[in-house]
A and B are shown apart, each in its own frame.
Chain A
Amino acid sequence: EAGVAQSPRYKIIEKRQSVAFWCNPISGHATLYWYQQILGQGPKLLIQFQNNGVVDDSQLPKDRFSAERLKGVDSTLKIQPAKLEDSAVYLCASSRTGRTEAFFGQGTRLTVV
């Protein structure tokens, strides 16, 4: 089966610009996660969706980050405006409802200059 697809793979923007990332989860996976991985650290959960509803967005900086999952399939994560400290790899992951592990995409590496 196809894995989690993410695009773009790399993005360089200037601070205060906006950027959007796209994720297509594994078919049939109702749960979708966005993680932020800063260099030298482990992934940190930003938001969790169950179908098209938000389960947990407690660690999402809502003043600048937003995410949506229309129709319970694809998801987009947006940053507006970007800050230097947003430079990181943004990982999307998905899992079947009730299952214990998530499957990760290759990530989008964002550099804010």
Chain B
Amino acid sequence: AQSVTQLGSHVSVSEGALVLLRCNYSSSVPPYLFWYVQYPNQGLQLLLKYTTGATLVKGINGFEAEFKKSETSFHLTKPSAHMSDAAEYFCAVSDSVSAGKSTFGDGTTLTVKP
């Protein structure tokens, strides 16, 4: 069985500050890991994914995440927050057997203050 824990249901940062959204996962097989963003009344949009290879992955809108197997973590970062980054962010895990079928965390709402 797989699970995802997102630490902090709400994160608030000032515009221009570092964004750090935390995600820890549990998986009995090598995981595929994803970060999605959801704007109000919208579906989920993929920010980035880790499958194999380089553990630091870069995504859209300046976001990146690092897969740390020893820590079972896949934290999402962005060096400088923009007002348009305000949204809800979901971390998800799947495995190679059922790629595309993901288990999601409960989400972190990011607020960006001017």
Number of interface residues of B (CB under 8 A): 26
A contact residues around B105 at 8 Å (CB)? 42
A contact residues around B36 at 8 Å (CB)? 104
The 4 lowest CB-CB distance pairs between A and B, nearest first, are A42-B104, A104-B43, A95-B100, A104-B44
A101, CB-defined interface residue at 8 Å:
yes
Interface residues of A in 73-97 (CB under 8 A from B): 91, 93, 95
A67, CB-defined interface residue at 8 Å:
no
A43, CB-defined interface residue at 8 Å:
yes
Does A100 contact B104, Cβ atoms closer than 8 Å? Answer: no
A33, CB-defined interface residue at 8 Å:
yes
Does A42 contact B106, Cβ atoms closer than 8 Å? Answer: yes
A contact residues around B107 at 8 Å (CB)? 40-42
The listed residue (B4, B42, B51) touching A106 by CB distance below 8 A is B42
Which residue of chain B lies nearest to A109 when distances are taken between CB atoms in the complex? B41
B contact residues around A45 at 8 Å (CB)? 101-103
Interface residues of A in 7-49 (CB under 8 A from B): 31, 33, 40-45, 48
B contact residues around A4 at 8 Å (CB)? 43
Q: Mark B43-70, 1 if CB is under 8 A from A, else 0.
A: 1111001010000000000000000000
Does B106 contact A33, Cβ atoms closer than 8 Å? Answer: no
Residue pairs across A and B with Cβ atoms less than 8 A apart, 24 shown, are A33-B100, A40-B106, A41-B106, A42-B4, A42-B92, A43-B44, A43-B104, A45-B101, A45-B102, A48-B98, A55-B98, A56-B98, A56-B101, A93-B44, A95-B99, A98-B99, A99-B100, A100-B49, A100-B94, A100-B99, A100-B100, A101-B100, A105-B43, A107-B42
